[in-house]
Structure 1
Amino acid sequence: MSIFKSYNNKDPLVVYTVQHSLRQTDVQKRLDEVTLKHKRSAMLGAPEVLQLNANLMQVIGAKKVLDVGVFTGASSLSAALALPADGEVHALDISEEYTNIGKPFWEEAGVAKKIHLHIAPAGETLQRFINEGQVGAFDFAFIDADKVGYDNYYECCLKLIRPGGIIAFDNTLWDGNVINPEDQSADTVALRKLNAKLKDDQRINISFLNFGDGLTLCFKK
């Protein structure tokens, strides 16, 4: 359970900033409530992170978005609400059990037709998009899936995102464990390596935010 996401964070300043900025629809709030009762609720993206992503999508005029790691669908819902009527969210996950939780909320919000769900390993789906000639066809990617896969997803998304597009990574602070030398678990090591790689990657401009559980924004040159 991430202590840094707003729904777990008791820091008065975090509570204050969320109270004075978060704008969720009733459907989004109810999907969050259902998800927070789930045994794997810690996988829910922080609403403040999803809202920032949505704002960035609108600022860059995004119409085609990758959502790598769907869980119960809060990130896909947020993205779909931010896109124009002809927008597309390509939602990648391996679990129908989890994604089925979100489908009724997508329908209720009137955005289900914008969300194209792909149930398969994300790396396979991303490579399929590349093979189909969709290089440079996407505007924004949100990566919030298995951490050991982040680097592969990044390289695929760099091909699929247009110049001027954005790739956002969630959980890049990993409950602070990225700076804990005693934590040598596979996920933590993978995130440390990714963070080091992104810092010097000249294919992008970068902002690494101490926000939620760590949000890294990569702006493709």
Structure 2
Amino acid sequence: MVEIGTGTGVSGIHLMRGMRHDGVLTTVDTEPDRQQLAREAYREAGFAANRSRFIPGAALDVLPRLTDGAYDLVFCDGDRLEYLDYLDESLRLLRPGGVVCFEGAFAQGRALDAAHQDPESLTLRELLRAVRDSTRLSPVLLPTDDGLLCAVRRP
């Protein structure tokens, strides 16, 4: 799995709990301090160090270096203005049947209200349309918290 936006490790812990025992989480973040907090959280949650790989840097610099078609899931919780680029990279990274997820798809309701014309709302609306209209994806939008957009990469 690939996680864009390590944060303090909360989502990574949940992702690793859902993985096979030999699965590895590759997590990317621009903040090395956050990655250190996540590394400690993973250890305290009982995960071996070889279950996670931390790559510091901007997602759009790191993702092109990852192996094509090698991942089962890409979880996007980074810069929402880059979500469309993350989608492009995810399509390359995912195996057929793999899943891409975008946290915060509703932007606290702004993405669903045409009156909001800020860059983040516009980008999220474009992402929602791109995923919906893609012939390579089968999407679902979950109304959890701030919205979770997921899509399965079709064979």
| TM-score, shorter chain, exceeding 0.5 | yes
1:199 to partner: Cα distance = 1.1
**1:12-51 residue pairs with structure 2 within 5 A?**
none
1:74 to partner: Cα distance = 0.9
Runs of 4+ in 1 over 6 A off after TM superposition: none
2:129 corresponds in structure 1 to: 196
2:41 corresponds in structure 1 to: 105
**1:28-177 residue pairs with structure 2 within 5 A?**
65-111=1-47, 112-129=49-66, 134-177=67-110
Q: Aligned equivalents of 2:116 and 2:7: distance in 1?
A: 25
Percent of residue pairs bearing the same amino acid type: 26
1:143 to partner: Cα distance = 0.7
Q: Aligned equivalents of 2:142 and 2:11: distance in 1?
A: 18
Higher helix share: 1
| Matched residue type, 2:5 | G
| Matched residue type, 1:102 | A
Q: Aligned equivalents of 1:212 and 1:147: distance in 2?
A: 16
1:101 to partner: Cα distance = 2.0
The range that moved more, 178-187 or 191-200, is: 178-187
Name stretches of at least 5 consecutive residues in structure 2 with no aligned partner.
Answer: none
CA RMSD of superposed structures (Å): 1.2
Task: Choose 1 or 2 for highest CA Rg.
Answer: 1
SS in structure 2 at match of 1:90:
strand
- Report the TM-score, using the length of structure 1 for normalisation: 0.66
- Report the TM-score, using the length of structure 2 for normalisation: 0.93
